[in-house]
Amino acid sequence: MKNDMEALNDTLNRAYEALLNFVRENHTEGIDEAYEFFWEEDYPEDFLSGTALDIAFINFEDWLVCDYKHTDTFIDAFLSWKKEKGEEVDGETQKMLDAMKSSYISLYEVASAGDGLALKDLLFNEAIEVGDGIGGLDAGDVFAARVLKVNGSNILGRCAYPFKQD
């Protein structure tokens, strides 16, 4: 049986995939507008490659579904679309979508890494425990990310903006 963190991460992944599929199928013009806004009319392939380019596209998708407003957020548009079709979103997915919608990207310093991550939110001066961490992080590392608060737990969203310690 899956533990609570695995179940939350599975729900998060399903929510992202459902949102991205919805946007790709129903809002191509919104993707184009968001792409130009996010990249400031540049092409990321011109200045990024490999893993950095992969992370950049994940960061764009995260921002697209959680933050970008194309008349409304795509989370709201997705929920309206489901309602119009007479389909309901299950309770856990609804909680995840609410957490995604109310989340924000902040800057974190790793206080300790182990079974989970102990983080310090550098913008709000708060300590945060995250159940599952990102591999390869050590105390003192700094990165920007989205932390979702769901069912009394904190989980990392998909985006990650790594910074060097110096």
**What confidence tens digit (pLDDT) does each residue in 39-57 have?**
997 889 999 999 999 999 9
pLDDT band per the 50, 70, 90 thresholds, residue 1: very low
3-class DSSP state of 140: coil
pLDDT at 42: 85
pLDDT band per the 50, 70, 90 thresholds, residue 70: confident
pLDDT at 166: 64
Q: Give the whole-angstrom CA distance, residue 83 versus residue 52.
A: 38
C-alpha distances in Å from residue 35, one per residue of 27, 29, 32, 94, 96: 12, 10, 5, 26, 24
pLDDT band per the 50, 70, 90 thresholds, residue 6: confident
pLDDT band per the 50, 70, 90 thresholds, residue 97: very high
HSE on the CB side for 95, CA within 13 Å?
A: 13
Task: Find, among 147, 144, 143, the residue nearest to 132 by Cα.
Answer: 147
First-residue to last-residue Cα distance in the chain? 42
Provide DSSP, 60-109: HHHHHHHT-EESEEHHHHHHHHHHHTT----HHHHHHHHHHHH--EEEEE
For 96-107, what is the mean pLDDT? 96
> In terms of pTM, does the model score above 0.95?
no
**What confidence tens digit (pLDDT) does each residue in 148-162 have?**
999 899 999 999 998
**What confidence tens digit (pLDDT) does each residue in 114-165 have?**
777 899 999 999 999 997 666 778 889 999 999 999 989 999 999 999 887 6
Tokens of 102: 């109310």
The more confidently predicted of residues 147 and 71 is 147
Task: Find, among 97, 105, 132, the residue nearest to 20 by Cα.
Answer: 97
pLDDT above 70: percentage of residues in the chain: 96
Q: Give the whole-angstrom CA distance, residue 3 versus residue 16.
A: 20
